[in-house]
Structure 1
Amino acid sequence: MAVTSTNETGHDEARLGCGRPIDDLWARIEEPPDEHERSCPDCQAARASLGRLEEAARDLRTSDERDPGMQPSDRAKASIMELARAEVRRGQMLPLRQTTPPEAPDLAISEQSVATLVRRTADGIPGVMARRCRVRTVEPAHHADGRSRVRVELSTALSARTRMASLAADLRQRVRTSVREQTGLDVVAVDITVEDVFDA
């Protein structure tokens, strides 16, 4: 449901949209991608970002290894990793309005921010538990008034007492309204996948 979960140590564990912990990817960054990572866009994007971080860190270690005074403290290392996790979680940037040139929007919002808003909206409906969420721009990417158009893919778990047909229509409308009012983005489609049913 959220981007973080609590692990056995009691600390928040940052996860990608697919549910895999970012720290697991970082621990395996020098190894070949596994079967899941080879077919998962979230993991592929995260491995690319973390790979660049690992390359920069390796170069830094090589240049500083002869000078112990240049070695970062454990606290500095923890701060760097937290920044890296935040960058990976952020995902791609979605332009809020059409700009010129289009590759350099003046106003943009991270996919993760919109996905968090969608999950929060879904969780506010009784009988719904949001899980993974992806937000993508669609073609044509903009309305005549310049507003960006996006498609939302949301996986959920539903209460066994829920009527899917009526709930789906309500959920789609709430997501469209919430995203439009808080970001200005136009949600042209909300694809809902039910992954599980729970007793409630």
Structure 2
Amino acid sequence: MAVDRPSEPERLPCGTPPDEVAEHALRGTPTEHERGCPHCRAVAEYHRVLARAGAELAAERPEPPPALVGSVMRAVRSQARPDRLIPVAAPGPGRTAVRESAARALLVAACDAVPGAAVGRCRLADGPDGLEIALSAHLTGTVPAPELAGRLRTAVRTAARESLGADPARIDIVFTDID
């Protein structure tokens, strides 16, 4: 698609092209006419204000608050800790394990297939009888909470058996909100 360019450049009411006025104003070399013409002075002032604002923004290099770096590094360090390993029952010699964060993500993903709830948090713990799972969820549909909890437990138990080779000893579900 071709763009038609005007044969004549845009001009102010006095006949001067505004681009020329802006260029002269930014260089500090206005013509005699531009210094006396109200139209040219308005264009020049507009561009001077923009240029001044741009220069001020470029010159400002705000310093972060002193505590910011420390708090960011604490957050980074808290996330950098390696997860504990969860043993996975697998056939054959050797040992197979997954990181706890991967196991949690897998169990939450299994819950995503259950309509009516949005699982937010998943915690894993070693209980006296084996793996204990605690989920927190929001009710997002019209399915009664007890029925929905049963569906979520089934999805989590199936995912734990098939992917981790573990049969959870306990699956707790807490509904924290209703959407």
TM-score range, shorter chain: 0.5 to 0.7
Residues 170, 138 of structure 1: alpha-carbon distance in 2 compared, 3 angstrom cutoff:
same
Shift of 1:176: 0.5
- Cα distance between partner residues in 2 of 1:129 and 1:95: 27
Aligned to 2:137: 156
Residue correspondence of structure 1 range 23-172 to structure 2 within 5 A: 27=72, 29=74, 50=77, 87-88=80-81, 91-97=83-89, 106-140=95-129, 149-172=130-153
Structural RMSD (CA): 2.8
Matched residues, number: 108
Shift of 1:106: 2.7
Query: Which amino acid in 1 is paired with 2:101?
Result: Q
Aligned to 1:191: 172
Shift of 1:187: 0.9
Query: Which amino acid in 1 is paired with 2:135?
Result: L
| TM-score, normalised via structure 2 length | 0.52
Residues 25, 114 of structure 1: alpha-carbon distance in 2 compared, 3 angstrom cutoff:
farther
Deviation by residue 1:28-83 (Cα, 9 ceiling, x = unmatched): 52xxxxxxxxxxxxxxxx88xx27xxxxxxxxxxxxxxxxxxxxxxxxxxxxxxxx
Aligned to 2:61: none
- Cα distance between partner residues in 2 of 1:164 and 1:25: 43
Matching of residue 176 in structure 1 with residue 157 in structure 2:
yes
Percent identical residues: 26
Residues 25, 117 of structure 1: alpha-carbon distance in 2 compared, 3 angstrom cutoff:
farther
Unaligned stretches of 5+ in structure 2? 1-68
| TM-score, normalised via structure 1 length | 0.47
Runs of 4+ in 1 over 6 A off after TM superposition: none
- Cα distance between partner residues in 2 of 1:181 and 1:28: 38
Shift of 1:162: 2.2
- Cα distance between partner residues in 1 of 2:102 and 2:83: 9
